[in-house]
């Protein structure tokens, strides 16, 4: 019998699915990681790359965006830090080549999903 996954392991699995599904072009996997009422916000930038505003994305948008196809131009490296777990809510940070994401997750019906995200684009690495 396989041991039951801990909350931290579940959170890491969901955070990994969130980023990898976007990189792989897998809309279904993205949908499985997100709560249907997801509120995702990201920074907008002016021509000088200075933050100039905030835009809002939904779970439906994220699923469709992921399903557009693989993004092989980005490295598949990611660092996940589970910042806090408090009963049925948690916070995590995901650092990848294209983004830094702060995730808020909720455990509903025994399953963790991403409810809120705040993210920003990372500067492209010089090649």
pTM for the full predicted model: 0.91
Contact 11, 82 (CB under 8 A): yes
Domain 7-121 has CATH 3.10.450.50: yes
Using CA atoms of 122, 91, 30, 124 in order, give the dihedral in degrees to the nearest 10.
Answer: 10
Question: CA 1 to CA 27: how far, in whole Å?
Answer: 31
Domain ranges, ordered by start, for the chain: 7-121
* C-alpha dist (Å) from residue 91 to 29, 31, 58, 70: 20, 19, 19, 27
The predicted structure's pLDDT at residue 125 = 45
The predicted structure's pLDDT at residue 49 = 85
pLDDT at 124 over 80: no
pLDDT mean over 106-110: 97
- Reported as a single tens digit per residue, the pLDDT across 47-71 is 888 899 999 999 999 999 999 999 9
């Amino acid at each position: 019998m396989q041991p039951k996954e801990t909350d931290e392991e579940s959170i890491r699995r969901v955070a990994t699915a969130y980023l990898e599904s976007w990189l792989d072009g897998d809309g279904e996997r993205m949908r499985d990681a997100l709560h249907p009422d997801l509120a995702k916000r990201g920074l907008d930038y002016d021509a000088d790359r200075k933050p100039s505003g905030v835009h809002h994305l939904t779970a439906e948008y994220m699923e469709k965006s992921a399903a557009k196809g693989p993004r092989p131009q980005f490295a598949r490296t990611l660092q996940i830090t589970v910042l806090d777990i408090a009963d049925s809510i948690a916070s995590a940070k995901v650092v990848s080549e294209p983004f830094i994401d702060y995730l808020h997750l909720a455990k509903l019906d025994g399953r963790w999903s991403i409810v809120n995200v705040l993210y920003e684009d990372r500067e492209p690495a010089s090649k």
